[in-house]
Structure 1
Amino acid sequence: MLLLALDTATPAVTVALHDGTDVIASSSQVDARRHGELLLPAVDRVLAEAGLRLDAVTAVVVGTGPGPYTGLRVGLMTADTFGLALGVPVHGVCTLDALAYAADIDKGPFVVATDARRKEVYWATYADSRTRLTDPAVDRPAEIAERVAGLPAVGAGALLYPDTFPSAHEPEHVSAAALAALAAERLAAGEELPAPRPLYLRRPDAQVPKNYKVVTPK
């Protein structure tokens, strides 16, 4: 097994290789505006670090968000392209699940929250690092304050809003190393990973202008 894992659902552009036992190479850069520019060089970098070629990959794992539309689709489209080119399966893993896994909390409940912009967070609650209790959602921190009161929290969204998440701590962003390790663990246990379908949770920021004038040929 050689898993190529990547995630662009958060400001981190992160890539890793996992051989079924351990992560053998990884790369992470935080830059919310350069996902498309940084992702492929990061793939090249981890392959070179591992001394492997792309055609050695047996499956691709991609973070499915939730995340902003523009960043998230970079990783998903790249993963699909690799899958088609190599003829290998492409698996999806919720980005929040990978953050929870990296937090390595044996007993919860706890919260994972990432920055959704617009003064909102993407979030979910977990019983432990491997067990999600609620579906991913997007809300303003003040709107969920009572529901998450007293719970430890991880992720950039939690760190941004200490009034709602006073016990927030790292990891701040997802890592492909955690994504790959979680996927490898689930595959080894015989679990079927979901298809790589994006969790946008809301409409994209870009909108058609109001009162848009349609021009038709005469």
Structure 2
Amino acid sequence: MLLLAIDTSTPAVTAGLVELDPRSAPRLLAEQIVVDPRAHGELLTPLISSAVQTAGRTLADLDVIACGVGPGPFTGLRVGMVTAAALGDALDRPVYPVCSLDAVRAACVAEPATQAESGSGSAADAHSVGSLLVVSDARRRELYWARYDADGVRTHGPEVAAPDALAERLPDLDVAALAGPQASQAAERFALPVHATTGPTPLGLALVAAEAALAQRSPEPLVPLYLRRPDAVAPGAPKRVSPR
């Protein structure tokens, strides 16, 4: 089964092809990741085309699509989701939504840690994964976050919070290390070691979606995890400028 993975929930524009087999672990065939927070719309389709060509396949060969649904900023996140939905409709393929923070946690198991550094205390073991706090940039000096136990089960989140507010909750969350695109920046503030600084990778997205895709279950609705109320609001009634 050939899976196209897409994510635009972070400054990175991510696309890749992964082969799913019920008898073995998912196998990455091609991956294209470019970090540019202002060019999701311009870069995503060319990166998808490049990944498909690199793998020696065509879009018609796809069986399923997995798309990161955030949490993430509105402008970037909608690019990936609209593209995934359009491809799914055009190709008549199912589109499986994946929490982007779940994909980060899954990638920590599938791939070696990219970095193991300590904010305070000893560094995390790059070859083991305990309880993790996955963090990404929510802008406005806030973080998107979720907590995962040693088995990879999400126990808290996803939520959005200021770093100071999240730091106050850390004793109750009981995490061993940080992961995600903002892990290095948060390490000193949270006094935790960094397990990995990767974002949602194609392999991580595929790992989360694999069970449902291989079982050919109907996908959940493709709903974005914005976690914030929109800044834009519907206009109120116009002010009366003439007497009744």
- After TM superposition, the score normalised by the length of structure 1 is 0.87
User: Quick one: distance in 2 between partners of 1:191 and 1:132?
Assistant: 21
Whether 1:88 and 2:93 are equivalent positions in the alignment is: yes
Whether 1:121 and 2:146 are equivalent positions in the alignment is: no
Query: Which residue of the partner structure matches residue 51 of structure 2?
Result: 46
Q: Percent identity?
A: 40
Q: 2:224 aligns with which of 195, 198, 202?
A: 198
Query: 137-146 or 186-195, which moves further after superposition?
Result: 186-195
Q: 1:65 aligns with which of 67, 70, 82?
A: 70
* Bigger Rg, structure 1 or 2: 2
Report the CA distance between 1:103 and its aligned residue. Answer: 1.5
User: Quick one: distance in 1 between partners of 2:191 and 2:17?
Assistant: 33
Report the CA distance between 1:7 and its aligned residue. Answer: 0.2
Q: 1:176 aligns with which of 198, 202, 215?
A: 202
Change (3 A) 1:24 1:172: closer
Given residue 136 of structure 1, which amino acid in structure 2 is its aligned partner? P
User: Quick one: distance in 1 between partners of 2:232 and 2:184?
Assistant: 29
Give the number of aligned pairs: 215
Q: Is the 8 A contact 2:12 2:33 kept in 1?
A: yes
Change (3 A) 1:167 1:107: closer
Whether 1:163 and 2:185 are equivalent positions in the alignment is: no
Report the CA distance between 1:195 and its aligned residue. Answer: 2.5
Report the CA distance between 1:19 and its aligned residue. Answer: 1.8
- 2:16 partner SS: strand
Report the CA distance between 1:196 and its aligned residue. Answer: 1.9
User: Quick one: distance in 2 between partners of 1:210 and 1:164?
Assistant: 41
Query: Which residue of the partner structure matches residue 56 of structure 1?
Result: 61
Change (3 A) 1:77 1:165: farther
Query: 163-172 or 27-36, which moves further after superposition?
Result: 163-172
Note the alpha carbon deviations across 1:154-187, whole angstroms, 9 max, x for none. 1123322221253234233221222123322453
Consecutive unaligned residues in structure 1, runs of 5 or more:
none
Note the alpha carbon deviations across 1:7-66, whole angstroms, 9 max, x for none. 000111111111214121111111111000110000000110111111111111100100
User: Quick one: distance in 1 between partners of 2:20 and 2:218?
Assistant: 16
Report the CA distance between 1:189 and its aligned residue. Answer: 6.4
Report the CA distance between 1:133 and its aligned residue. Answer: 0.8
Q: Is the 8 A contact 1:92 1:196 kept in 2?
A: yes
Report the CA distance between 1:99 and its aligned residue. Answer: 0.3
Whether 1:29 and 2:31 are equivalent positions in the alignment is: no
User: Quick one: distance in 2 between partners of 1:132 and 1:189?
Assistant: 22
Note the alpha carbon deviations across 1:100-127, whole angstroms, 9 max, x for none. 1112286532200101011100001001
User: Quick one: distance in 2 between partners of 1:127 and 1:77?
Assistant: 32
- 1:95-106 equivalences in 2 (<5 Å): 95-104=100-109
Change (3 A) 1:160 1:66: same
Query: Which residue of the partner structure matches residue 3 of structure 1?
Result: 3
